[in-house]
Structure formats: C-alpha cells, structure tokens
C-alpha cells in the first residue's frame, strides 16, 4: 500500500511539474506574441503609408494635360487630317478618363480603409486597458512544487 501511495505521489508531482513546464511555455509564447503585436503596432502605420504612397504614385501619370481638347488636332502631329491622330487622341482621352476614375475610386477606398484602421486601433487600445477576461494562468507566475 505504501508503495502504491508513493507511486501516486510521484505521479502527481510529475504531473504538476509537467503542468508547470507547460505553463512556463505558454507564458513565454504569450510574451512573444505581445512583443510581436507591439512591433507590428509600431511599424505597420509607416509600412501602410509607404505602400499607399508608392501605389498612388505608380497610378498617377507624370504629365496630364487636362485642358487638351480631344477633337482639336495635335500641334505636334505634322499631318492633322490623318485618321490615326484622331484615334490616338480618343485612346488618350479614354486613358485619362479611366485614370480619373481610378483616382476617385482610390480616394473613396482610402477614406474607408483609414476609418477601418482607426476603428481597429481603438479596439486594440480598449483591449489593452481591459484586464478582465485574461485567464488566471497567464496572470500569475509559475510556482514550483517542493
């Protein structure tokens, strides 16, 4: 009986040691995730701004002559009566129109994305100040059984 009881005690000690090791591992994982979240919160706005700037600069043409009338012949074309010139001018006007539509679409999408980003950051800040709902195992430090 004493041997059986001693085996049960050793098993209980081993089990509690395993639980404590698992708890330590979970605490390390939580700390690592917290560090990654803090890093993302610090670097993500700059990355988003750089990405948005590069995307918008790639979509906006360098020179837009918006006062150019499509139906007037181009002064650089030596033969203004050619049909190819009118076709090129119409294609150019279509390209300008699609670029304008893309810019307007990007502008409206940007405002909704910025609002969504502000909502997410406010939710994260609210969760940071909210201490309830965290499992007690993550609040206490590991206590080893003697």
- The whole-model pTM stands at 0.32
Confidence of residue 33 (pLDDT cuts 50, 70, 90): very high
**Torsion sign over Cα 16, 19, 24, 30:** negative
Cα–Cα distance, 104 to 60 (Å, whole number): 12
Confidence of residue 26 (pLDDT cuts 50, 70, 90): very high
For residue 30, the model assigns a pLDDT of: 93
Confidence of residue 27 (pLDDT cuts 50, 70, 90): very high
Question: Does pLDDT of 139 surpass 70?
Answer: no
Alpha-helix runs per DSSP H in 60-142: 83-129, 136-139
* Model pLDDT for residues 62-106, shown as the tens digit of each residue: 554 545 444 444 455 555 555 677 888 888 889 999 998 888 888
For residue 14, the model assigns a pLDDT of: 81
Tokens of 140: 């206490």
* Model pLDDT for residues 50-60, shown as the tens digit of each residue: 888 888 777 76
Cα–Cα distance, 28 to 19 (Å, whole number): 14
């Amino acid at each position: 009986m004493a041997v059986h009881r001693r085996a049960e005690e050793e098993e209980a000690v081993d089990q509690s040691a395993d639980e404590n090791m698992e708890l330590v591992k979970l605490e390390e994982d939580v700390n690592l995730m917290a560090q990654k979240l803090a890093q993302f919160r610090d670097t993500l706005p700059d990355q988003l701004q750089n990405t948005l700037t590069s995307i918008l600069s790639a979509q906006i043409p360098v020179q837009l002559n918006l006062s150019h009338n499509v139906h007037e012949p181009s002064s650089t074309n030596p033969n203004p009566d050619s049909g190819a010139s009118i076709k090129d001018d119409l294609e150019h006007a279509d390209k300008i129109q699609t670029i304008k539509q893309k810019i307007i679409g990007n502008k409206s999408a940007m405002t909704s994305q910025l609002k969504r980003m502000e909502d997410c950051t406010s939710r994260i800040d609210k969760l940071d100040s909210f201490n309830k709902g965290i499992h007690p195992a993550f609040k206490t430090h590991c206590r080893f059984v003697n």
